[in-house]
Amino acid sequence: MRESEIKRKTAETDISLSLCVDGTGKAEISTGIGFLDHMLTLFARHGRFDLCITCKGDTCVDDHHSTEDIGIALGQALRQALGDKKGICRYGDIILPMDEALILASVDISGRGLLCLSAEFRTEKIGTFDTELVEEFFQAFAANAGITLHIRQLDGRNSHHIAEGMFKAVARAMRKAVSIDEAARDEIPSTKGVL
């Protein structure tokens, strides 16, 4: 089983996170941010990752520090769980509909952290959650996981649907990318011999 645990404590957040890449989609999420809990639960379910996160953060200030630091911790956990990345498919992509929203997500577990995100949220908030924090989360996740991640909003008007589509699409693309290629189980999927 590809598993990892991360504990990350700063002056702003205290995070405990466990991840099993080869899971069934079970989630126990308590971040102090209702919308983020919902998105991370969807991420676990659609990626079939077992994910447990607790975060005590300075949400009395705003949700920024907790959201970004959870992205950092989740990225670190993924990188740790995948180890040398031997046998992974490496690439995954999907175009995912979420009601009127249509989201493209494409990932390369390259060892190089990069986010390219193109989206237009029509509202500044989803409930109390700042929509700009969606990009902050994925930026922190991609950089710390060492993945190249492209996310494109192809259509959509409702901010909740757009964000939800992004989390589901990234989870589904990640699910493909981390899956084991049976024909190359003992190989690193790179001509360099390392990822």
Per-residue pLDDT tens digits for 11-58: 999 999 999 999 999 999 999 999 999 999 999 999 999 999 999 999
Domain enclosing residue 84, as ranges: 3-184
Q: What is the mean pLDDT of residues 128-144?
A: 98
- Asked if the structure places residue 124 within a domain, the reply is yes
Look at residue 98 and tell me if it is in a domain: yes
Q: Does residue 191 belong to any structural domain of this protein?
A: no
For 95-111, the pLDDT digits (tens) are: 999 999 999 999 999 99
pLDDT at 193: 86
SS3 19: strand
Q: Which two tokens stand for residue 78?
A: 């993924």
Averaged pLDDT for residues 147-162: 98
Q: Is residue 194 domain-resident?
A: no
pLDDT for 81: 98
**∠ CA 173-33-146, rounded to 5°:** 35
Residues whose CB is less than 8 angstroms from the CB of residue 16 and which lie 6 or more positions away in sequence, other chains included: 5, 6, 7, 52, 53, 54
Return the C-alpha torsion angle 120, 31, 139, 170, nearest 10.
-70
Q: What is the distance between the alpha carbons of residues 174 and 49, in angstroms, rounded to a whole number?
A: 10
- CATH number reported for the structural domain that contains residue 30 in this entry: 3.30.230.40
pLDDT at 12: 97
Pair 51, 19: CB distance under 8 Å:
yes
Q: How many domains, in total, are found in the chain?
A: 1
> pLDDT per residue over 55-91, tens digit each?
999 999 999 999 999 999 999 999 999 999 999 999 9
User: Rounded to two decimals, what is the model's pTM?
Assistant: 0.97
- 84-95: buried (b, 16+ CB within 10 Å) or exposed (e) per residue? ebebbebebebe
